[in-house]
Structure 1
Amino acid sequence: MSPTRPPGSGSGRRRTHSAGTDDPRRRSGWLADGVRGRARKVDGVRPIGVGRGKLGVTTAGRFVRGMRFDRNPLRRATDRAESVVLILLAVLFLVGAPLSALAAGGAMHAVAQRAELAQRASHLPVMATIKTIGAPATGGNLTTEVDAQWTAPTGKLIDTDMAVAIGHTPGDKLKVYTTPDGRLTTPPMAESQVASLTELARVAGVAGLAVVVTLAGVVARWWLNRRRIAAWDADWRSTGPRWTTRA
């Protein structure tokens, strides 16, 4: 007598169910997207809690969590205070950078312009005449010593040696700058130099503000970390004995 099979066992082959109408996920109106790891709409139905307006999945939500302004119960007051300090320092730099550049540039421009006017009054141009030319300078220097003569602004005749570029001949005239008593000096400051100093001061003003803001952020974070660690220690002193098993 052959053994009988249990009712409903069929031919012994395992049945498989397709994700059709018998699939409970299909009946609920959604399927999990196995490729992208997120839920997707099926038959025009969006899963509950996966809407686009949900704060946890939007860019704004990620920003709020990153800035520690969410309702996470693990957030401490020091965490939110640190975020507020960082935001204030960023705003301070963004607002103060143009102002510091204008202030530093304006101050430097005023100083450089006064120096330019003072040099124009004291560094006077005169025409010098080359009398004799000496040997060219050694060491690859493209200058030569000459004996030149000019009349100082006071009317005094000046005769002295000076270095000029190679290529001049006796009798050539050169424009030089002297002090009111006839001594050689440098040309007065040009407008381009004033502009360069002004731009350099603007950059220095912004860089100085950045250093101040960075130092303020470091000090604030150091102080908040001390408060945070002190709060952790206080919490541990209150909860630690309840977790510790004593003999």
Structure 2
Amino acid sequence: MLLLPLMGWIAGSAVYDHYNQLRESQLTERHSVMARLVSDAQVGGDGFTGQTRLQARVQWQDRQGVHVTVAPVGTWQRKGSTATVWLDTRGNVASAPVTWDRAATAGVCAGLATAAGVAALAGGAWKSVRVSLDRRRFAQWDREWELVEPRWTGRRGR
């Protein structure tokens, strides 16, 4: 019984650690800027993954000058509001780094899924052993009944 929580904990910790390392890596490769929306947020799609997200035309200024591009933004932001935009080392718009919440959620889900999977495998193995033992026991009972039944009923052979 201790195996289920242990396996869940190991898997969950591994996934959580992975996402934390990914977050640290992303934070070294990306930086955020505050940008002003020059258009309202609209639903946009990602042609590669099929994911839908909100995006808007944004503008920000840095040492290189004024930049205007389309970037992912928060829920239904309006023209004139500000949004945090993440940029990679070359200044291109990038996705926001993995959050602590996502790492924790992924770890918990992986732990629960692993525990459920181990429980299902253990339950299936137990059921398989029980069925095998029952078949063996029923076969033994059939053999014994063939020996005892003629004496009990008075019938001779079949």
The question of a shared fold, defined as TM-score above 0.5 by the shorter chain, is answered with yes
Q: Which has the larger share of strand?
A: 2
Corresponding residue for residue 188 of structure 1 = 97
Q: C-alpha offsets along residues 169-188 of structure 1, whole Å, 9 cap, x if unaligned?
A: 3xx65421022222222211
Q: CA deviation at 1:228?
A: 0.9
Q: Does 1:232 align with 2:151?
A: no
Kindly indicate which of the two structures has a greater share of residues assigned to helix: 2
Percent identical across equivalent pairs? 23
Relative to structure 1, is the Cα distance of residues 136 and 121 closer, same or farther in structure 2, using a 3 angstrom cutoff? closer
Determine which of 98, 109, 112 is the counterpart of 2:16. 109
Higher relative contact order (CA 8 A, sep 6+): 2
Once the two structures are superposed, what CA deviation does each residue of 1:60-104 show, in whole Å capped at 9, x if it has no partner? xxxxxxxxxxxxxxxxxxxxxxxxxxxxxxxxxx22122112211
Corresponding residue for residue 132 of structure 2:
223
Within 5 Å, give how 1:142-221 maps onto structure 2: 145-146=56-57, 148-151=59-62, 158-162=67-71, 165-169=76-80, 174-221=83-130
Query: Bigger radius of gyration, 1 or 2?
Result: 1
TM-score, length of structure 2 as denominator length: 0.71
Distance 1:156 1:110, change over 3 A: farther
Matched, 1:125 2:32: yes
Where 2:35 maps in the other structure, the secondary structure is strand
- What's the CA shift for 1:158? 4.0
Q: 1:179 to 1:100 in 2, by over 3 A?
A: same
Distance 1:245 1:161 in 2: 92
Gaps of 5+ in 2: 44-53
Q: CA deviation at 1:156?
A: 8.2
8 Å Cα contact 1:129/1:150 also seen in 2: no
1:159 offset after TM fit, Å? 3.0
- Tell me the equivalent position of 1:65: none
- Aligned length, in residue pairs: 144
Using structure 1 for the length normalisation, give the TM-score: 0.49
Question: How many angstroms apart in 2 are the aligned matches of 1:199 and 1:241?
Answer: 63
The 1:127/1:191 distance shift into structure 2, 3 A limit, reads same
